[in-house]
Amino acid sequence: MPTRQAREAESRQRFETTYARKGGDLLRELERQVIGGDWGANGYTTKAQAEMLGAALELGHGKRLLDVGSGRGWPGLFLAKSTGCEVILTDVPVGGLRTASRRAAKEHLTDRSAAAVANARALPFRPRSFDAIVHTDVLC
């Protein structure tokens, strides 16, 4: 049986391959129809569900959100843009976080967002560093 490190390395490689794929016009249109926006999503959380999360978590200016397993930044960057909160994106595959950082720049969110390569099992943050945490479309 493979070790935990071997399983994580295999998972990281699989997601790096996924995030390296270029999205085309067809995929962007599919995302618009399925989730209601064009944020480079790689999961199933809809825009309406993300908006409900923002409201339920009372996100807004001065609040800090941690998006665990954020991939390309959905829904964390959307929530930062729509609510005014700050967001820290975490994931293991660097490719997804690079895409998220480019999207943050495009959305003028670089002053309210950051990305950190981190496994959900060993997050590098102090307790009570965030007002809210989201973890959407992530398999553990």
Residue pLDDT, tens place only, 97-126? 999 999 999 999 999 999 999 988 889 999
pLDDT at residue 140 greater than cutoff 60: no
Signed CA dihedral, 53, 55, 60, 64: sign only: negative
| Total of domains in the chain | 1
Residue 111 sits in which domain range? 4-134
In a domain, 139, yes or no: no
pTM: 0.84
pLDDT digit string (tens) for 40-96?
777 788 999 999 999 999 999 999 999 999 988 999 999 999 999 999 999 988 988
Average pLDDT over all residues of the chain: 88
- Euclidean distance between CA atoms 40 and 60, whole angstroms: 23
In a domain, 83, yes or no: yes
Mean pLDDT value of segment 123-137: 94
